[in-house]
A and B are shown apart, each in its own frame.
Chain A
Amino acid sequence: AQSVTQPDARVTVSEGASLQLRCKYSYSATPYLFWYVQYPRQGLQLLLKYYSGDPVVQGVNSFEAEFSKSNSSFHLQKASVHWSDSAVYFCALSMTGNYKYVFGAGTRLKVIA
């Protein structure tokens, strides 16, 4: 069965520091991969997506993610975080030709001064 694992439930970083949120997936083929952000009491906002091609994808607000087929990973990164980045981040996959999305458990990011 397809699955998405976000091993870190909570991450705390200092403002201005770099960030990496981890995401591992399980799927026999190459999936479509997504990162979403959920601000308090709101829905999901798409940060970036990977369908094919260049394994490094750029997203909104200077986020980027790197797809690794060998590691079955799609880690999210940002060079310098801002306090406004505090939110819950979800990694998700969609299987080729299938409209179903499978979400990870989410990582709660807290940015401190």
Chain B
Amino acid sequence: GALVYQYPRRTICKSGTSMRMECQAVGFQATSVAWYRQSPQKTFELIALSTVNSAIKYEQNFTQEKFPISHPNLSFSSMTVLNAYLEDRGLYLCGARDRGEQYFGPGTRLTVL
């Protein structure tokens, strides 16, 4: 079956430092990967969408300078939260998709001290 793994599941970083998180698709080819953030008590916001052979598209209020994303092959993507501050805390979800359904990972929960 199709599975999406995310590493780490939980992480803590000091304010002003950076944190890299990874997303791995197993059992299918992730032609597109979407990164979402769920801030405390809120819904999921799309940060950016990465599609193979296309430029990574960031949503309003999210930038490559703050959330650089790498999507080097059809099974792996990573995103870094640069210079993290309190407002960056939350659950970061990776959604990976082939030509059909999007599969979500369990998320990386980021705490910023």
Contact = CB atoms under 8 A, between A and B. Distances in A.
B104 A99 contact: no
Interface string A24-53: 000000000000100001111010010000
B43 interface: yes
Contacts of A36: 104
Contact of B93 (A43, A46, A49): A43
Contacts of A90: 43-44
A101 B101 contact: no
B106 A100 contact: no
B25 interface: no
A103 B36 CA distance: 10
Given A43-B104, A49-B101, A99 B49 contact: yes
Contacts of B51: 99
B89 interface: no
B90 interface: no
Interface string B46-60: 100101000000000
Query: Chain B interface mostly helix, strand, loop or mixed?
Result: strand
Given A42-B106, A43-B91, A99-B51, A104 B97 contact: no
Contacts of B106: 42-43
22 contacts: A42-B107, A43-B91, A43-B104, A43-B105, A43-B106, A43-B107, A44-B93, A90-B43, A94-B102, A99-B32, A99-B34, A99-B97, A100-B46, A100-B49, A101-B34, A101-B44, A101-B46, A101-B95, A102-B46, A103-B36, A105-B42, A106-B43
Interface of B: 6, 32, 34, 36, 42-44, 46, 49, 51, 91, 93, 95, 97, 101-102, 104-107, 109
Q: Can you list the 7 inter-chain pairs with the closest CB atoms, starting with the nearest?
A: A43-B106, A43-B107, A103-B44, A99-B32, A44-B104, A103-B43, A105-B43
